[in-house]
Structure 1
Amino acid sequence: MESKQRAVSRLIAQAGQMLHAHGAESALIGGIMERMGLACGMDEVEVSLSASSLVVTTVTHEHCMTTARRCPDRGINMRAVTEVQRICIMLEKGILDHELAQQKLNKITPERYNRWLVVFMIGLSCASFSHLAGGDSAVFAMTFVASAIGMIVRQEIGHRHFNPMLNFATTAFVTTFISAQAVVFEIGNNPNVVMASSVLMLVPGFPLINSVADVLKGYINMGIARFVMGSLLTLATCLGIVAVSGVLGMFGVTL
């Protein structure tokens, strides 16, 4: 029985670690871990979450076992989160036992979209915002180019595992520098829209949304940590934009 409890504890901890690392909200992490433990025959499952780690305790036949895991940020990936949820559901329905669940969990890989497809869609989305803001075709084209190149820079820095704030600041600088050429050379009917629209890809919407959700659902510490991280990323983006304004002498430009 002790060996089963140890295996189940490791299964639950790994599932929670994967959910945490790939951007799931705290209530979902705690709920999935508890459901998986109960489905595997545990009498009680307690979970404690922090910004970079988790602790899980399982109780069965009055025997308590606790394990802790570090949770480094692996980037937002809803496919990995969904796969863990499917394993949880199959455990609850009796389709899997804890050993088969462990095997399926080990096979989960956070697949990502083709990088050039992401670059194209980011450029298109930012350019679409510029069009909605009243920009003409020249503004649309400049926004597309600036945001697409900025996304390439962001991907390259991310692949080298630099600090996210350095990544956001550098990406904002490059993107704004390119988009500022529309103002310098007066390209399009409203070149200021290019500068405003091209950096929208750097808005940390997911961490900020999760922070509010965590606070509303009682995970105050996690919510504060995510809000602070989202705010720091926003600050880094602003620093990159301001740096371009200083280099090009555009502090008087109204975005």
Structure 2
Amino acid sequence: MYADTQNEITRQVVRVAQLLLAYGADSELVEEISQRLGYALGLASVEISISSNSLVLTSLVHGRCITTTRRTREHGINMTVICELQRICLLTEKGLYGLYEVRKRVSRIRPKTYPTHYLVPMIGLSCASFCHMFGGDLAASILTFFASSVGMFVRISIAKHHFNLLLNFAVTAFVTTLIAQLGYQISFTETPKLPMAASVLMLVPGFPMINAISDMVKGHLNVGISRWGHATILTVASVIGITMAMQLGGLFL
């Protein structure tokens, strides 16, 4: 294998690892896909080291090592991207894709998101369903639907302007709770507490926490602790927003 070919394969493998980390894959999956793709493209060995915001990958062919470092930035959870990268790896292992095809397919990957006019009411409906499951009456469920829908719209609007994620969560929690506590102010529901609890469930960072535990259990302690800390800070930001809204509305924890 020529040096230029090894360089290009290493670039593609590390790019795949970078995308997997950016869109929410756990560290074990990143290592597995990177090594399998590297072996399928002709590398003799692929070693990868993952930290909270970067990764280092070393490839080996005929005693020649190439090491490259990449910085990683979170782009939000998107399983479409992760599944597409796994598909590319599988087809490469089967011999259907070569280096050129892998490069072309990876460059074409774009995260797919649901349209806002579909996403907002579905989030509202899911939170309203939780309110109903918790024992809320019809009025409480309707209030939950309205509060969580408005909150999700605010969250998406802030995200489009690329504000800090902590600020996003705090403002979204504040607006959502401010609307949800109307059940106390107007007294049109028998269960005014439930909309306040159910409407902010969309802010629970469940996936990052699951990944954090998975990483720590599988031995990736530094990445797991980092993800756990990030999820905890997001939760704290949400609590700050909720507390401010309750104080403004005259309610106290």
TM range (shorter): over 0.9
How far is 1:53 from its partner?
A: 1.2
> 1:101 is matched by which residue type in structure 2?
V
- In the TM superposition, 1:175-190 aligns within 5 A as 175-190=176-191
Gaps of 5+ in 2: none
For the residue of structure 2 that corresponds to 1:36, the secondary structure is helix
Amino acid aligned to 2:207: F
Q: Distance in 2 between matches of 1:51 and 1:115?
A: 31
1:167-222 Cα offsets, whole Å, 9 max, x none, are: 00000000000001111111212011010110000000000000000001110000
**Residues 1:140 and 2:141 aligned together:** yes
Distance 1:163 1:22 in 2: 17
TM-score, structure 2 normalization: 0.98
Deviation at 1:153, TM superposition (A): 0.3
Letter in structure 2 aligned against 1:18: L
- Partner in structure 2 of residue 204 of structure 1: 205
1:210-225 equivalences under 5 Å are 210-225=211-226
1:37-83 CA-partner distances (Å, limit 9, x unpaired): 11111110000111111111000000000111111111110000000
TM-superposed CA distance for 1:136, in Å, is 1.2
The aligned amino acid for 2:46 is: V
The residue aligned with 1:90 is: 91
Counterpart position of 1:14: 15
After TM superposition, the runs of 4+ consecutive aligned structure 1 residues lying more than 6 A away are none
Aligned counterpart, 1:74: 75
Unaligned runs of 5+ in 1: none
Aligned length: 252
Structure 2 residue matching 1:226: 3-state secondary structure? helix
Q: Deviations over 1:128-155 (max 9, x none)?
A: 0110111111111100000000000000
Q: Deviations over 1:106-134 (max 9, x none)?
A: 01110111111111110000000110111
Percent of aligned positions that are identical: 44
Structure 1 CA distance, aligned partners of 2:239 and 2:16? 36
Shift of 1:90: 0.8
Specify the alignment match of 1:54 in structure 2.
55
Aligned partners of 1:80 and 1:13: how far apart in 2?
A: 15
Structure 2: distance between partners of 1:11 and 1:86: 15
Q: TM-score, normalised by structure 1?
A: 0.97
Equivalent AA in structure 2 for residue 51 of structure 1: S
Q: What secondary structure does 1:135 align onto?
A: coil
Distance across 1 between alignment mates of 2:105 and 2:36: 17
Whole-Å separation in 2 of the counterparts to 1:72 and 1:16: 12
Q: Secondary structure at the match of 2:181?
A: helix
Match of residue 41 from structure 1:
42
Question: Paired residue for 1:2?
Answer: 3
Encode CA deviations 1:13-50: one digit per residue, 9 max, x unaligned: 11011111100111001110011111111110000111
User: Corresponding residue for 1:31?
Assistant: 32
The amino acid that maps onto 1:28 is L
Alpha-carbon separation, structure 1, partners of 2:184 and 2:117: 27
Q: Residue 235 of structure 2 corresponds to which residue in structure 1?
A: 234
